[in-house]
């Protein structure tokens, strides 16, 4: 039985791994490269799911029908509902609801609950957060200790600033809101339904529904000195 740092890894035991993979294939799970898939004996995979090379399902995972998992995923004690796609990503004690897409290179940490029909994309980290139906965080964002409503767009580089150095605080983003690129939402804060947060803003107060919030410093432009003057 495989072991690292004192923890058992039964899915890496060669004999048990091969037997488990073959049992899944026999019940209709599609595994194109069985030598490169690792499945815990406590994991459940529904028929029609596809496990691509580099997939490791650890602990008590549940993978729904017609999911596509992999390539290169590490999924630990998590549930992925039917018709979802997870690729090149890490999931830890997370839930992916029906028809959602995770990855590539996403990280769902404990308490992440995504979807249905949502998207968490490139280099996005989600922790202790609920992301609603059809919401999108497509790239380079951190969503932590948050409640994100249906149809929300979280722009590239947006961050929920959840920790004040002592206590974690929650951010609420209501249905239909748009959070622009490189926005910082300093919790506790609420972004109202269909509100718009402008790119580059730092938001420290609640934003009412159907409003636009700007929180930028004023741009200053000065003449640049010539090379000789700058010496």
CB count within 10 Å of CB 12 equals 16
Buried b (16+ CB within 10 A) or exposed e, 38-65: bbbeebebbeebbbbebbbbbeebbbbe
**Between the CA atoms of 95, 140, 71 and 86, what dihedral angle is there, to the nearest 10 degrees?**
30
Are 37 and 61 in contact by the 8 Å Cβ rule? The answer is no
Catalytic residues: 139
What is d(CA 181, CA 204) in angstroms, rounded to the nearest whole number? 16
């Amino acid at each position: 039985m495989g072991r690292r740092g004192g923890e058992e890894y039964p899915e890496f035991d060669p004999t048990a791994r091969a037997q488990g993979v073959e049992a899944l294939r026999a019940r209709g799970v599609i595994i194109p490269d069985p030598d490169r898939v690792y499945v815990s004996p406590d994991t459940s995979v529904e028929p029609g799911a596809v496990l691509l090379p580099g997939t490791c399902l650890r602990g008590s995972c549940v993978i729904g029908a017609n999911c596509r998992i992999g390539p290169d995923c590490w999924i630990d004690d998590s549930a992925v509902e039917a018709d979802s796609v997870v690729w090149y990503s890490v999931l830890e004690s997370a839930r992916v609801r029906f028809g959602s897409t995770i990855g590539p290179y996403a990280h769902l940490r404990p308490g992440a609950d995504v979807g249905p029909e949502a998207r968490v994309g490139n280099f996005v980290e989600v922790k202790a957060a609920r992301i609603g139906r059809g919401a999108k965080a497509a790239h380079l964002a951190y969503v932590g200790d948050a409640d994100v409503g249906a149809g929300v767009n979280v722009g590239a580089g947006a961050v929920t600033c959840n920790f004040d150095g002592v206590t974690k605080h929650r951010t609420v983003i209501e249905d239909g809101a748009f959070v622009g690129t490189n926005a910082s939402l300093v919790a506790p804060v609420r972004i109202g339904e269909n509100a718009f947060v402008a790119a580059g803003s730092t938001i420290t107060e609640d934003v009412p529904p159907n409003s636009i919030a700007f929180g930028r410093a004023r741009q200053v432009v000065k003449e640049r000195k010539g090379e000789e003057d700058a010496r």
